[in-house]
Amino acid sequence: MSIRSNLEEIRKSLPAGVTLVAVSKTKPISDLNEAYQAGQRVFGENKIQEMSQKWEELPRDIKWHMIGHVQRNKVKYMAPYVSLVHGVDSFRLLREINKQAKKNDRVIPCLLQMHIAEEETKFGLDTTELNEILDSEEFPKMENIAVTGLMGMATFTSNEEQLRREFKQLKTIFDTLRQKVPTAEILSMGMSGDYKIAIEEGSTMVRIGSSIFGARNYH
Q: Is the Cβ of residue 149 or residue 209 nearer to ligand PLP in the bound state?
A: 209
| Binding window for ligand PLP (CB under 6 A); candidates: 29-37, 95-103, 121-129, 202-210 | 202-210
Q: Which of residues 142-201 bind ligand PLP (CB under 6 A)?
A: 153, 191-193
Residue 46 touches ligand PLP, criterion: CB under 6 A: yes
Q: Is 149 left (phi over 0), alpha (psi -120 to 50) or beta?
A: left
Closest distance of CB 134 from ligand PLP, Å: 23
Which residues have CB under 8 Å from 182's CB, separation 6+? none
Q: Is the Cβ of residue 54 or residue 207 nearer to ligand PLP in the bound state?
A: 207
Nearest alpha carbon to residue 205 among 176, 180, 170, 177: 170
| Binding window for ligand PLP (CB under 6 A); candidates: 1-9, 35-43, 157-165, 204-212 | 204-212
Residue 84 touches ligand PLP, criterion: CB under 6 A: no
For residue 159, how many C-alpha atoms fall within 13 Å in the half-sphere facing its CB?
A: 10
Nearest alpha carbon to residue 101 among 75, 79, 70, 73: 79
| Contact status, residue 110 vs residue 73, Cβ threshold 8 Å | no
Q: Which of 7, 62, 67, 186 binds ligand PLP (CB under 6 A)?
A: 67
